[in-house]
Amino acid sequence: MVSDIVENIAVVGAGSFIGGAARYLVSLAMKGIGKGFPWATLAVNLLGCFLIGLLWGYFSRSASESSKWALFLTVGLCGGFTTFSTFSKEALMMLQTGNILGFVGYIALSVIAGVALVALGYHVWGVM
């Protein structure tokens, strides 16, 4: 059991490394595009959402949602590339199960509280 967890952590970590490196490469490739707007972040987030949707659809239909490849590609690669993709998948799952209040609340709390907490964290250092 412990060895399975350790192996899964290694699989997720490897995917996260590749996803994070890919995110960095996208930001380098898009450097200087549209000054004043985070186009690279938007591109990564939207691409990550599409990619996790494709992977989730594939793995859920192939009955291997918990396979090492699923962990590597969704939690690892997509998670390292962008956590926004996971957030979007979870929100869609709530919508699909009819949990409208949870869906709206999750989106509102994530965005509003997320931005507020970034501001708070920034403010802690006395920068704001």
| Environment class of 3 (CB within 10 Å of its CB; exposed 0-12, middle 13-18, buried 19+) | exposed
Chunked into runs of 10 residues, the chain (128 residues) has average pLDDT values of 93 97 94 82 89 87 77 93 85 92 92 87 71
| 78 and 71 Cβ atoms separated by less than 8 Å | no
Q: What is the pLDDT of residue 63?
A: 66
The domain ranges of the chain are 2-81
